[in-house]
Chains A and B, each alone.
Chain A
Amino acid sequence: MNWGSILQFLGTDATTQGLIWTIFALGVFVSYRILDVADLSVESIFPFSAITSLLFVNLGVQPILAILIAIILGGMIGFINGCLHVYLKINPLLSGIIIMVALYSPNVIISSGNIVLDSDEYTIFTGLNTLLDNYVLSKLIILGIITFAIIGFMYWFFGTELGLSLRAAGKNTSMARAQGINTDSRYLMGMVFSAMLISLAGALYGQMTKHVSADAGKGSIVIGLTILFIGEVLLGHRSFKLSLFSVVIGGIIYWLIIDTIIQIPGFNTNYLNLLKGILITFVVVIPEIKKYISKKKKPTIAGINQEGV
């Protein structure tokens, strides 16, 4: 294997975009895998936080503080989304759609369609960049640290009593309630946590690209779910820790696929979505290919293969 080309790849956009979308997919993981809710509000929360983080930076707020404000605002929207289900008894899928549709208007109003970072303002990546003089590397370092800090936090949090009760409430609501867990409060907590992760991804995305349009979140839920599935297929979900790491792998592989397609010389990008579909199918059927290969390798004694696994 050519290590030079791998290093070259690691310095490209696939990894930086991959890490941002990993954080996004971790948010989807919380709502979709832990709470078992397909939350569509992410499509609007993502651009919302990207826009607010840029807006506050333009107002002269420190970039890190701007991200924190975006996360808090995003968490509040997640709370409203949760309340729609818990108190107004709206189906979670519909409550997500309501937020997605409703939040579009504030997005358009505060961004007036499209927001750009003022040329004399800084982003969270600028500081390290002046130090390292390599924008890609500084993005990688900052995003890498944030991603792994989040994974560490999630691993710890979902291992605490509170976190475990949250997982239980999502897995089997009636059983959890029978155990004396307040499932409504756990649902709200999960939705807020998920929305905060989405907001973090959005705020970082905004500061990375330095321009965001109000419809930047179009199709983001599809990206998030695809990342989850790619990761799960490649690493499996035998343990909670592995599930978290599989999201990182999924995020990077997904953007690697996109990056590879768009770098094919002379490629007609009208075929982009078709090729995306084919490549994702290919990645997702890998386990089936694996099964087929290991079946062929099976020794005469049934049940034990050569690797002894």
Chain B
Amino acid sequence: MKKLNLLLLAGVTATCTMGLSSCGSDLTQIGILQVATFDALDSCREGFISTLEDAGFVDGENVEFTFQNPEGDSPTQDSMAINLATNCDMVFGISTGSSQALKSAVEDQGKDTPILFSAVTDPVDAGLVTSFTEHENVVGTSDGGPTAENIELFTEFEGIEKIGIIYNSAEPNSIIQKEEAAEACSELGLTLVDGGISSQTEIDTTLQGFVAQGVQGVFIPTDNTIAQAIDGMKDTLEENGLVTVCADSAVTTAGGSLGYSVDYTNLGETTGKMAVKILNGTDISTIPCSKSESFPLTLREDFFNTTGIAVPDSIQAIIDSQEA
């Protein structure tokens, strides 16, 4: 019996180790670590890959992409980061946590693999770079959004004095935006109700709480947890006629009302251009980090049709000029 036990144990170990040794090829390996699946991060990744393809780095021909996604699970994310750092010639982290995990994994192995990041609101605060121009083997794009401009949108609607912000209080990106929103609100004379949550299950209660407190508008920052749950929030937001400004166009079209947003595809493309430069031999420390510069205004007409709230002329004018 004991022998059989050992034999089975050895069997499991051997099967697993076989899996480990199957890696390795001559192509340039590019590893992508993305914290979870949702539209904004997906389009960032697609933008990155398509830019590389346009520059002649095609998956399966001269480069090979390894894409990993821990679906928000931190310990698994660390394992994936170590795996990518071991096997890849270049790594790309989408979100603050993923980029930090990759940086820590690469450092631990004593390597200087180029690390790219995107969808990080404040790379300096996250410890990824010293400043936008001073860094070693880490470079990328920040998705810091136009929070002040977004809060200003509320003032275009009549009668909005009190707004709520809903975000995951464990996401560093969202906390930075909450602080920016609080500042903008105090300048514009709006009251801000803090709706920090810890999981998707709390979203409904928080929204009900907003309604009970007489909130007339909701601000949604670029928050991974809310982005995953927006479809379920749509009805509550519409029923209560809450004007919802979102800092992510994918969230706006899925259930918000309007908002200036970061164009994640564009962000991914900018990061992709950096990757192309590095692959062509440019020294990574000479490439500066960058921020998204154009913030298109998105508007979901369905919201205004359903609730009967009129689109203010000033906002309609911006939309018209964008289309033209």
Q: Which residues A194-245 have CB closer than 8 A to chain B?
A: 205, 209-216, 218-220, 223, 234-235
Interface residues of A in 101-125 (CB under 8 A from B): 104, 107-108, 112-114, 116-119
Interface size class of B (residues with CB under 8 A): 35 or more
B5 within 8 A of A: yes
B74 at the A/B interface (Cβ < 8 Å)?
yes
Judging by beta carbons under 8 Å apart, are A213 and B17 in contact?
no
Task: Point out the residue from B21, B76, B86, B170 that lies within 8 Å of A114, measured CB to CB.
Answer: B170
Residue B254 lies at the interface, judged by CB distance under 8 Å to chain A: no
Contact of B126 with A116 in the complex, beta carbons under 8 Å: yes
- Whether A263 sits at the interface, judged by CB under 8 Å, is yes
Bound: A14/B8 CA distance, A? 19
Check A213–B80 contact: CB distance below 8 A: no
B71 contacts chain A at the CB level, 8 A cutoff: yes
B contact residues around A2 at 8 Å (CB): 14, 17, 21
B108-135, CB < 8 A from A: 108-110, 126-127
A293 interface hit (Cβ, 8 Å): yes
Within 8 A of B (CB), among A32-62: none
Say yes or no: is B66 at the interface (Cβ < 8 Å to chain A): yes
Tell me which of A1, A209, A273 contacts B104 (CB under 8 A). A209
The reply on B212 being an interface residue by CB < 8 A is no
Please give, as numbers and ranges, the residues of chain A lying within 8 Å of B126 by CB-CB distance: 114, 116
CB of B66 to closest CB in A, whole Å: 7
| B67 & A262 in contact (Cβ 8 Å cutoff) | no
Decide if A211 touches B97 in the complex (CB within 8 Å). Answer: yes
Q: CA separation between A234 and B198, bound complex, in Å?
A: 37
A contact residues around B86 at 8 Å (CB): 12
* B126 and chain A: residue at smallest CB distance: A116
Is A307's beta carbon under 8 Å from chain B?
A: yes
Q: Does A112 contact B175, Cβ atoms closer than 8 Å?
A: yes
- Tell me whether A136 and B109 are in contact (CB under 8 A): yes
Docked-complex contact B170 and A17, CB < 8 angstroms: no
Complex CA distance for A213 and B287, rounded to whole angstroms: 29
Whether A263 touches B19, Cβ cut-off 8 Å, given contacts A108-B169, A213-B172, A234-B5, is yes
Contact with A along B42-86 (1 / 0, CB 8 A): 000000000000000000000000111111111110111011001
Which chain A residues have a beta carbon within 8 Å of chain B's beta carbons? Answer: 1-2, 5-6, 8-9, 12-14, 17, 21, 104, 107-108, 112-114, 116-119, 133, 135-136, 139, 205, 209-216, 218-220, 223, 234-235, 249, 253, 255-260, 262-266, 269-270, 272-273, 283, 286, 289-290, 293-294, 307, 309
Query: Closest 9 A-B residue pairs measured CB to CB?
Result: A116-B127, A214-B170, A114-B172, A13-B82, A216-B74, A211-B100, A260-B19, A215-B170, A269-B69
Binding site for A on B (CB under 8 A): 1-5, 8-10, 12-23, 37, 66-76, 78-80, 82-83, 86, 96-97, 100-101, 104, 108-110, 126-127, 168-172, 174-175, 196, 198
